[in-house]
Structure 1
Amino acid sequence: MTGLLWEYDGYDPAEERLRESLCTLGNGYFATRGVLPECAADAVHYPGTYAAGCYNRLASEIAGRRVENEDMVNLPNWLPLRFRPAGRDWLTPDTAPVTEHHQVLHLDPGVLERRTRYRLGADGALLVRQLRLVHMAEPHLAALRTDLTVEGRTAELDVEAALDGSVTNSGVARYRDLDGRHLTHVETGSAAAPGTVWLRCHTRTSDTAIGLASRLAADVPVSDGHDALRAVQHLRLSLEPGRTVTLDKTVALHTSHDPAISDPLRAALDHVADAPGFDELLTSHITAWEQLWRRAELDVPGDPGRILRLHLFHVLQTLSPHTADLDVGVPARGLHGEAYRGHVFWDELFVLPYLNLHLPEVSRALLHYRHRRLDAARHAAREAGLRGALYPWQSGSDGREETQELHLNPRSGRWLPDHSRLQRHVGSAVAYNVVQYCEASGDTDFLHAEGAEMLLEIARFWADSATYDEHLGRHRIRGVVGPDEYHDAYPGAPGPGLDDNAYTNVTAAWVLTRTLDLLRGLPEPRRRELIERTGLEEDELARWEEVSRTLHVPFHDGVISQFEGYGDLAELDWHGYRERYGDIRRLDRILEAEGDTVNRYKASKQADVLMLGYLFSPAELHSLFAWLGHRLDEDTWSATVDHYLHRTTHGSTLSGLVHGWILARARRTDAWGFVQEALRGDIADVQGGTTGEGIHLGAMAGTLDLVQRCLTGLETRDSELWLDPVPLPELSSYGFSLRYQGHWGVRLRLRHGQLEAAMPKASGPTPIDIRLPDRVVRVGPGEKVRMRLPD
């Protein structure tokens, strides 16, 4: 195996959860954390295997209330393989002397390698070498090769392999007061095929059936010894010094969500019986990864390029071509852990713009996830007394609101009301993703059908949410929470919610105008069908036009206000709090533990107003504000950026990304620090322990998109590629390929102030127009064009 490595040397219990997340292997269908196979769940390690879209709902008693939560289920653990000198304790790095430990994630082939040397008394050692894969070509297969070598003296070794159905969801400390026992009716047994055992179970309430089968290949007899929750295999090895014994464990996983099967266990048994040996599996797995890397080619030199490669690796493991066949959304923490319960938030806003230009079929499937839950969003709007579609802040299996009503402040130990479900701007994110996908892919079929229906219902919701204020002479959207999340109420107010969040109102105006434009341009037969299907009335369109022009955007002191009344809040003693606490990313928890509330202060958790500069180019943002009756000049925007830069704690990994993006386009000298924070967010675990609970998928994908769209100024509109590069000194040379409106393998490269664009001969039948600020360049199939950029 060759290619880029992500390596860890030495064993450090404090770092294990982080390593396990970053060494997760997956294929878009399921993923398994990078835990050592001999280690069980405890205070150090957390084995976890998660299938995309596999959820279960349980109720718990918390703070005197019955609370329901739906979780992405931790499935039976297929990894267990442990060993010990005969008659002695099982070896783990936590219980036995380790003289060498090395873990290597091979990014190009998608393989995890480990090498550990255990000391056996004064004169011996056991060397354990393992290769692991979760197959990228065969999404239901995984495999583990284990080489065992005794050094110094002969040894009798007991080995136990298992499928473990005793697992629970317990990987996030603050959720452990909640019921995490999602599996029931666990059964185990042995198959007729030699060396093969099986396990089946169901989820407790969603009744998803799960089947696993494991084939253990060894040169010695294997005996079975199952217990109630584990399918177990035993073998004894007589090892001579220097002689290596190899054990290959191949596993198949199916659930009742899978198409074209009658029974998950039968499918798993058939699949594992037909699976080739480890070497052949490894070859086909590497080939599948090679094909995937070609589709997502990204060439950035130096350490930033290495980190971006890791980010791309985890994005592709969570959302691979296999995802296109599934009914799943974008899990905010990947398939890497249990934080956020595996829910779908707005993170697709940061993920789909990247996927659109590489795996558009995956983007389409992720948007189908939203369309299939449109009826649930309509129901939520009706429950709120409004027309249209109200998408949930947190979504899971069926599209209902999954946001918890209570959350734990671990600093104070108190359970507090959670009002984050008032972040209704998630609907605008869905609409934005529909438009972005269709512009990049040219998929007018989707735009005119499912996309148009979603846009219409989201626009209808925003128009119905707006109330006219006679005093202001404008429409207002009241009682919401913005992306900031810190502010969920006015100081001393009896109830939650804020009025006229600027991000919410501006994006709502954008949705209304884009939807009106789309309806005007629809073919008449489709327009008629859509109007009949949705019951759209003509007077609604006139109202949409009016609301889109008159939504209130508050200002204070010459800058855009985060919400109405923001300018009246108190200033925080930033210096004092930083001196007292050091890390104040979670200022809300700090203040609540002190008996105070962040609602009193001009302090933001993450980018809110500035998100507008992330979504829209300067020209588009100025045009939007002009449509709303405001002049947004460069001085006002620059002052707004400064205002919030000094009042944001970056309590979300998305915040550094957004700030780096904005500054890269507006103030390059200040951008690199934020870009670095975005790049290092997970690998350095800057949020203080959160990465061990699952990677931050939106932030990882956002760093890829920062190179792809931000630094190049790339936009896909009017059937042209618009480019306006602004290279950072630290990222001035890079290249990538993309798939644009049916053209495969379009390559862009920037270096030394020169932009190179190339199309393969077989990329597509027509040329592409590339629009630069000062000219338009046409690139045809088989052509390469070099363009000198202005200084």
Structure 2
Amino acid sequence: MTDEVWQYEGYEPAQERVRESLCTLGNGYFATRGAAPECTADAVHYPGTYAAGCYNRLTSTVAGREVENEDLVNLPNWLPLRFRTDGGTWFTPDGTELLSHCQSLDLRAGVLERESRYTDVAGRTLRVRQLRLVHMADPHLAALRTEFTAEGWSGELEVESALDATVSNTGVERYRALNSLHLTDTEAGAANPDTIWLRCRTTASDLRIGMAARIATPEAAIEVCNEEWRAVQRFRLRLRPGHSATVDKTVALHTSHDPAIADPLGAAVDRVSHAPDFPTLLDTHRMAWQHLWQKAELTVPGDAGRILRLHLFHVLQTLSPHTADLDVGVPARGLHGEAYRGHVFWDELFVLPYLNLHFPEVSRALLTYRHRRLGAARDAARAVGRAGAMYPWQSGSDGREETQEMHLNPRSGRWLPDHSRLQHHVGSAVAYNVWRYWEASGDTDFLHTKGADMLLEIAQFWADSATYDESLRRYRIRGVVGPDEYHDAYPDAKEPGLDDNAYTNVTAAWVLERALELLRTLPEPCRRELAERTGLDTDAPARWEDISRELYVPFHSGVISQFKGYEELAALDWERYRARYGDIRRLDRILEAEGDTVNRYQASKQADVLMLGHLFSPGELRGLFARLGHPLDDEIWSRTVDYYLRRTSHGSTLSGLVHGWVLARAKRADAWEYVQEALKGDVADLQGGTTGEGIHLGAMAGTLDLVQRGLTGLETRGGALWLDPVPLPELSEYGFTIRYRGHWGVRLHMRPGRLSVRVPDSDRAPIDIELPGRTVSVAPGESCELALPHHWQPRSS
């Protein structure tokens, strides 16, 4: 295994689904899991193909209730290519003697290579080598090259290639009690013996899908043998010792979401018919990946660098430049599996800050996805008696709330009410991304139009959610759930929701402050038009000013309280639970299976209060608390960090990331443990089986942003790049390239005690670099090298 190649030696059925997720190939339009083409879905394997934004809605009966769920649809499987000798059983890793197996993911080229050696019942050895790609230049194409080699024997090999619509959404075990058959009206056909096709549609969303496959193989007569739900080709290859017979399968996929087509099937058949041969496809695919890597160049030595490149690979193939042409959001588990049903959460909060500095056009498109669903967010706010816009915790096709009403605890087998839709802080995440995108890109046109619409509507929602408490002389936001998710109600409460979640209130205050800043800077005609568009009354700014300064943030014992009353909860015997269960990341499930509830305890699933240290630099966070009338010095923050470190089970892959980020500045000696947890979350499947259901895109992008912004202190504000590096001994040297306000390829390189910045030659203005205590201007075509303090000190502003 090298920095550029992710390799698995040997076949391990228990690890197969994790490997299939991590070896997924995609291009931003669609992705296919890394399953072996000769395998069908079973307890070991799960081939899956998913197109961005392709959802369908089904109704299921759960615990005596009818519930509706929308899922990212598992599309027809284009991979099937199976083979056998002398009419025997089809070769599979599980049913035939497998002599050797190696699978390699070439990150630089975006190619999955696999080599296996099988022995048949007659003792003859067959070597199979495959190359697979999902084309990064043409987002509708994929290709599979298979080379068969007979080792020391001659004979015929029967091969079957298919497009298979006998698929369902069964990739997540805890969802299997739900309806999973999303495809209907399947029809198979052939344009000619070389080219077969399949069409179908989704049952409710009426998404039409067209898929076509072209086979190219020497000296083989191809027979079309279509079946119900499957388009099938069969042929025989004559094998000779030491000579390889090659089969190339090229596939095209279109859906009725695509622009500039008359019919998905016709478009797929036409595209595959005109597609070049495999070597040409491979060359153009590699070139497209080369261009991507140039824009997202990252140099980090050692094992951390190797994992970071894998993370970057999966971010790029989930949210590529092709995504900029689509109406899609950030799927929390990528296009790699069916966990979370392919929904869009707040995970974009961890993804867009990275994309802003490399692919701002993709960030703009992802924010436009939110803007197109602003009407649904307004409707949701009205439904609960609020003004403004209330974005859903889980979003899918049309912007309605997609959060499940019930969730299954696999430990107890019980279906339980799900109150996570009360995580209204997702609105603050949308607003945060709007503002950070503008700071990084300088896209004032977006900020003053779509961005302003969202920012002001979210501000209106927070202002209308805040009620004044005379006894506290503060505004309060009640009945919410914070990022911690373990706590969705007070012990023995009849209604769900918590009061005065610190993260929710502080970010709401930040949103209101940014909305006021925007209103002050808008030209008068724009301000009037915006007020008419959003229904903003003339008294709103004054009320926002008051609320943004007087929202209640609870404290106890000199630390920030996660929510009002957190300190009154019972202490948990952490050692007893660790001794009994070992892995207690999902402590909520453990306690519920015991007939208890985590709502009773001072125990958090993931970073909640500490998320504030992830979103805001030390100086900005102090400023926010000062505006709210609370001091926040290093001592208070350090006590707060220590307090929640002892009370967090890290039941989310995002938790290690946030803790590593925060500890790098607050408690540096402990930071690396959590950084490693974030790096290894998926590659080591630390959450115990979740990676096989899809990668954690937010955590992957977050580790990239940890290097890009967390350790450098990089901020884009006031028309300058602000840097406040923090030395982390285990990650002391690294470099990366960013795109900043029209400057392509700004290169930053960190090493102990030194920072170098190189700005590529252009006709643009110099870049101002703000460091603690000094400002440096770097002109295009110039470089500068700066000495850094031996001991990092927090910036005071």
TM-score (norm 2): 0.98
Identity among equivalent pairs (%): 73
Assess if the C-alpha contact under 8 Å between 1:665 and 1:710 holds in 2.
no
Determine the C-alpha separation between the residues in 2 that align with 1:342 and 1:314: 15
Determine the C-alpha separation between the residues in 2 that align with 1:212 and 1:494: 51
Determine the C-alpha separation between the residues in 1 that align with 2:773 and 2:495: 53
Pairwise CA distance, 1:642: 0.2
User: What per-residue deviation string (whole Å, max 9, x for no partner) do you get for residues 189-220 of structure 1?
Assistant: 0104x500000000000000000000000111
Assess if the C-alpha contact under 8 Å between 2:28 and 2:316 holds in 1.
yes
Q: Which residue does the alignment assign to 1:345?
A: 345
Assess if the C-alpha contact under 8 Å between 2:727 and 2:752 holds in 1.
no
Determine the C-alpha separation between the residues in 2 that align with 1:483 and 1:3: 34
Q: How does 1:464-613 map to 2 (within 5 A)?
A: 464-613=464-613
Determine the C-alpha separation between the residues in 1 that align with 2:41 and 2:581: 32
User: What per-residue deviation string (whole Å, max 9, x for no partner) do you get for residues 151-179 of structure 1?
Assistant: 12223211000000110000000000000
Q: Which residue does the alignment assign to 2:71?
A: 71
Assess if the C-alpha contact under 8 Å between 1:502 and 1:609 holds in 2.
yes
Pairwise CA distance, 1:543: 1.1
Stretches of 4+ aligned residues off by more than 4 angstroms = none
User: What per-residue deviation string (whole Å, max 9, x for no partner) do you get for residues 249-293 of structure 1?
Assistant: 000000000000010000001100110000000000000000000
Q: Note if 1:153 corresponds to 2:124.
A: no
**What residue ranges of structure 2 are gaps of 5+ in the alignment?**
791-797
Q: Which residue does the alignment assign to 2:732?
A: 732
User: What per-residue deviation string (whole Å, max 9, x for no partner) do you get for residues 691-726 of structure 1?
Assistant: 000000000000000000011110000000000111
Determine the C-alpha separation between the residues in 2 that align with 1:492 and 1:6: 50
SS in 2 for 1:538: coil
SS in 2 for 1:716: strand
Q: Which residue does the alignment assign to 2:197?
A: 198
User: What per-residue deviation string (whole Å, max 9, x for no partner) do you get for residues 445-483 of structure 1?
Assistant: 000111011000000000000111111111110000000
Assess if the C-alpha contact under 8 Å between 2:743 and 2:760 holds in 1.
no
Determine the C-alpha separation between the residues in 1 that align with 2:467 and 2:413: 39
Assess if the C-alpha contact under 8 Å between 1:188 and 1:199 holds in 2.
yes
Assess if the C-alpha contact under 8 Å between 1:3 and 1:108 holds in 2.
no
SS in 2 for 1:575: helix
Q: Which residue does the alignment assign to 2:671?
A: 671
Letter in 2 for 1:468: Y
SS in 1 for 2:731: coil
Q: Which residue does the alignment assign to 1:176?
A: 176
Letter in 1 for 2:195: T
Determine the C-alpha separation between the residues in 2 that align with 1:392 and 1:257: 23
Determine the C-alpha separation between the residues in 2 that align with 1:513 and 1:107: 42
Q: Which residue does the alignment assign to 2:793?
A: none
Determine the C-alpha separation between the residues in 2 that align with 1:267 and 1:92: 33
Q: Which residue does the alignment assign to 1:683?
A: 683
SS in 2 for 1:602: coil
Q: Which residue does the alignment assign to 2:698?
A: 698
Determine the C-alpha separation between the residues in 1 that align with 2:87 and 2:225: 17
Q: How does 1:8-19 map to 2 (within 5 A)?
A: 8-19=8-19
Q: Which residue does the alignment assign to 1:437?
A: 437
Q: Note if 1:358 corresponds to 2:366.
A: no
Assess if the C-alpha contact under 8 Å between 2:390 and 2:458 holds in 1.
yes
Q: Which residue does the alignment assign to 2:776?
A: 777
Letter in 2 for 1:446: F
Letter in 2 for 1:133: L
Pairwise CA distance, 1:538: 1.1
User: What per-residue deviation string (whole Å, max 9, x for no partner) do you get for residues 328-355 of structure 1?
Assistant: 0000000000000000000000000000
Q: Note if 1:213 corresponds to 2:216.
A: no
Q: Note if 1:710 corresponds to 2:710.
A: yes
Q: Which residue does the alignment assign to 1:645?
A: 645
User: What per-residue deviation string (whole Å, max 9, x for no partner) do you get for residues 554-609 of structure 1?
Assistant: 01111000000001000000010000000000000000000000000000000000
Assess if the C-alpha contact under 8 Å between 1:123 and 1:152 holds in 2.
no
SS in 2 for 1:370: helix
Pairwise CA distance, 1:542: 1.3
Q: Note if 1:185 corresponds to 2:185.
A: yes
Pairwise CA distance, 1:774: 2.0
Determine the C-alpha separation between the residues in 1 that align with 2:262 and 2:152: 52
Pairwise CA distance, 1:123: 4.1
Pairwise CA distance, 1:2: 10
User: What per-residue deviation string (whole Å, max 9, x for no partner) do you get for residues 102-133 of structure 1?
Assistant: 00000000000000000124642000000000
Assess if the C-alpha contact under 8 Å between 1:51 and 1:335 holds in 2.
yes
User: What per-residue deviation string (whole Å, max 9, x for no partner) do you get for residues 502-541 of structure 1?
Assistant: 0000000000011001101101111110011122111121
Q: Which residue does the alignment assign to 1:765?
A: 764
Determine the C-alpha separation between the residues in 2 that align with 1:42 and 1:123: 27
Q: Which residue does the alignment assign to 1:392?
A: 392
Assess if the C-alpha contact under 8 Å between 2:2 and 2:306 holds in 1.
no
Pairwise CA distance, 1:75: 0.2
Determine the C-alpha separation between the residues in 2 that align with 1:754 and 1:498: 46
Q: Which residue does the alignment assign to 2:795?
A: none
Q: Which residue does the alignment assign to 2:273?
A: 273
Assess if the C-alpha contact under 8 Å between 2:3 and 2:309 holds in 1.
no
Determine the C-alpha separation between the residues in 1 that align with 2:397 and 2:607: 29
TM-score (norm 1): 0.99
Determine the C-alpha separation between the residues in 2 that align with 1:120 and 1:35: 22
SS in 1 for 2:241: coil
SS in 1 for 2:136: coil
SS in 1 for 2:130: strand
Determine the C-alpha separation between the residues in 1 that align with 2:83 and 2:347: 42
Determine the C-alpha separation between the residues in 2 that align with 1:601 and 1:156: 67
Q: Note if 1:305 corresponds to 2:305.
A: yes
Assess if the C-alpha contact under 8 Å between 1:123 and 1:153 holds in 2.
no
Q: Note if 1:745 corresponds to 2:745.
A: yes
Assess if the C-alpha contact under 8 Å between 1:3 and 1:106 holds in 2.
no
SS in 2 for 1:730: helix
Determine the C-alpha separation between the residues in 2 that align with 1:616 and 1:492: 35
Determine the C-alpha separation between the residues in 2 that align with 1:530 and 1:634: 40
SS in 2 for 1:765: coil
Letter in 2 for 1:605: K
Q: Which residue does the alignment assign to 1:425?
A: 425
Determine the C-alpha separation between the residues in 1 that align with 2:268 and 2:30: 14
Q: How does 1:43-442 map to 2 (within 5 A)?
A: 43-121=43-121, 123-192=123-192, 194-219=193-218, 220-442=220-442
Assess if the C-alpha contact under 8 Å between 2:760 and 2:782 holds in 1.
yes
The verdict on how the C-alpha distance between 1:122 and 1:213 changes in structure 2, with shifts beyond 3 A counting, is closer
Deviates more, 1:258-267 or 1:120-129: 120-129
Pairwise CA distance, 1:752: 3.2
SS in 1 for 2:729: coil
Deviates more, 1:129-138 or 1:524-533: 524-533
SS in 1 for 2:730: coil
Pairwise CA distance, 1:238: 2.0
Determine the C-alpha separation between the residues in 1 that align with 2:115 and 2:774: 56
Q: Note if 1:616 corresponds to 2:608.
A: no
Determine the C-alpha separation between the residues in 1 that align with 2:123 and 2:159: 21
Determine the C-alpha separation between the residues in 2 that align with 1:249 and 1:401: 40
Determine the C-alpha separation between the residues in 2 that align with 1:537 and 1:123: 82
User: What per-residue deviation string (whole Å, max 9, x for no partner) do you get for residues 391-442 of structure 1?
Assistant: 0000000000000000000000000000000000000000000000000000
Pairwise CA distance, 1:86: 2.1
